[in-house]
Amino acid sequence: MQPDLLNHAHIASVLQHFRTHSTLVHCMTNDVVQTFTANVLLALGASPAMVIEREEAVQFSAIADALLVNVGTLTADRADAMRAAIHSANEAGKPWTLDPVAVGALDFRSRFCREILSLHPAAIRGNASEIMALAGVSAGGRGVDTTDSASAARPAAEQLARETGAVVAVTGEVDYVTDGNRTLKVIGGAPIMTRIVGTGCALSAVVAASCALPGERLVNVAAASGLFAQAGGEAASESRGPGSFVAAFLDALYHLDGGALA
């Protein structure tokens, strides 16, 4: 199955939905990226909330429009809270997204992520090594860093999508987004995005938000990657290094123009 290139009109349409729906995203994400993730969602027009305590997470996941489960700083208590929040979201009919940070490289999080795959994620977003490890076709990367290319991970992503029913996004030098039957290819971005902590984690939050928007989920998730690629390319051309890139990237997300994208 050859991937189709994502249509820019689809990115523009999903951007408009972001701006008009103000999706409330429950982010159970890692400690390193919470502020950046919140700012990215706000720049696109979504509404972030970081609720981690188990009792509150169970309550809030039923209220929010979408749930993100990111295992970057996983602990036993957080795993319990995440598991309970997923059950609550499922009961309320709210989509949840998995970011399997460093799966394959570390045993505890690998076991946990493989366990919760049975709880029907709407989407999974990871780098090539994470997706391949989650699909059971490799041992994983070097911590949070991938040692594989996105193109090499595309078959594993398609397999994982078919097995779980989730839309799977494998991101890297090129992004591939698949539902197991159809795959979309997203190009753009900039190498400097790999020098900023949290770009992948923040993208997973945007993917989670996109799953709650109107339209086809495959297209919505691919468009989330497209928005990041577009803003990343613009920010890279205006920044002098990682520090100025962060500010330029948030500004680029905020000023994305649907008409120009279309």
Residue 57 in 3-state DSSP?
helix
Q: Are 184 and 168 in contact (CB under 8 A)?
A: no
**For residue 21, which of 50, 40, 49, 41 has the smallest C-alpha distance?**
41
- The DSSP code for 204 is H
What values do phi and psi take at 97, rounded to 5? -120, 140
- Per DSSP bridges, beta strands 24-28 and 4-5 are unpaired
Residue 171, marked binder = yes
The residue to which tokens 């997300």 are assigned: 253
Radius of gyration of the chain (CA): 16
Q: Are 14 and 219 in contact (CB under 8 A)?
A: yes
Residue 50, marked binder = yes
Q: Which residues define the annotated binding site for ATP? A: 125, 171
Q: Which residues define the annotated binding site for substrate? A: 50, 198
Q: Which residues define the annotated binding site? A: 50, 125, 171, 198
